[in-house]
């Protein structure tokens, strides 16, 4: 990734930070994006000394003006934009889908689903239409089928899988667009899913363990690199075998 520049949303912790670290280790210059400056500053400090340069910018992924401004910041500060990783996500509701409030329904849609389109538009218009590039979207194994209690979250992730296919169709051959579908990964966002029964959940998986952010980061590095130059419109499932073992769905709980 020497000489490449990447922008990673939701990068102050968890999977986003792990992806930023792998990119920096591979020589890329990376702009980390999230909503809180303090977390971003700490994240960038943790990447000091790697081959690539890390910088940060505060933005709300659901705001179109923030997407455009941040892409322009990346171009001004780092000189180019070769890789966009749409990683930011949220899951503010746990329960039956028919009981979710309109406010939480809209928030989940805006951050998980609409933001992928907004940031891809900004990257395409400002940089990638002329210079090419790679877009990687963060879906979920939950987007492959139904499961209890996080149904609306899974709907937004299923939408990302189709958005990925559609953008790959529309933007090729100039831009490759792919997605990663993680299984249950030990992040702060997913703590309510894995912490109460980690050993029991892991025992049901072929790999006998839950994922960690770096499992997703290493796969992401491959997908955005030139080693994956003939892969586009695809969703790579990285789930320790969860989807292979599911019966009547892909439940990770």
CB count within 10 Å of CB 203 equals: 10
- Rounded Cα distance, 124 and 107, in Å: 25
| Active-site residue list | 153
String of DSSP letters for 85-112:
EE--------B-GGG--HHHHHHHIIII
Specify the 3-state DSSP secondary structure of 215: helix
List of residues 6+ apart from 234 with CB closer than 8 A: 164, 168, 178, 179
Task: Kindly provide the residue ranges of all beta strands, DSSP E only, lying in the chain, ordered along the sequence.
Answer: 5-9, 29-34, 54-58, 83-86, 133-138, 175-182, 235-238
Between CA 218 and CA 26 the distance in angstroms is 11
Cα dihedral 62/63/67/69 (nearest 10): -160
Name the β-bridge partners of 95.
150
Please name the helix (run of DSSP H) or strand (run of DSSP E) that holds residue 247, with its range, or none. Answer: none
Contacts of 199 (CB under 8 A, 6+ apart): none
Is the sign of the CA dihedral 120, 123, 128, 129 positive or negative? Answer: positive
């Amino acid at each position: 990734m020497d000489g490449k520049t990447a922008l990673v949303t939701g990068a102050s912790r968890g999977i986003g930070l792990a992806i930023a670290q792998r990119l920096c280790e591979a020589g890329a210059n990376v702009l980390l994006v999230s909503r809180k400056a303090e977390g971003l500053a700490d994240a960038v400090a943790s990447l000091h000394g790697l081959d690539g340069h890390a910088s940060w910018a505060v933005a709300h992924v659901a705001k179109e003006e923030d997407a455009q401004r941040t892409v322009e910041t990346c171009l001004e500060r780092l000189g180019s934009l070769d890789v966009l990783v749409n990683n930011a996500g949220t899951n503010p509701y746990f329960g039956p889908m028919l009981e979710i409030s309109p406010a939480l329904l809209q928030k989940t849609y805006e951050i998980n689903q609409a933001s992928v389109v907004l940031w891809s538009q900004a990257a395409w218009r400002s940089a990638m239409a002329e210079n090419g590039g790679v877009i990687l979207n963060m879906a979920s194994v939950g987007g492959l089928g139904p499961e209890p209690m996080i149904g609306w979250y899974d709907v937004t992730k299923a939408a990302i899988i189709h958005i990925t296919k559609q953008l790959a169709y529309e933007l090729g051959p100039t831009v490759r667009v792919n997605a990663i579908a993680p299984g249950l990964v030990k992040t702060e966002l997913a703590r309510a899913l894995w912490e109460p029964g980690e050993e029991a959940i892991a025992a049901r998986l072929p790999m006998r363990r839950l994922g960690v952010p770096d499992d997703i980061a290493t796969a992401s590095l491959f997908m955005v690199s030139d080693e994956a130059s003939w892969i586009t419109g695809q969703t790579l499932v990285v789930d320790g075998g969860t989807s292979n073992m599911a019966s009547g769905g892909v439940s990770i709980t």
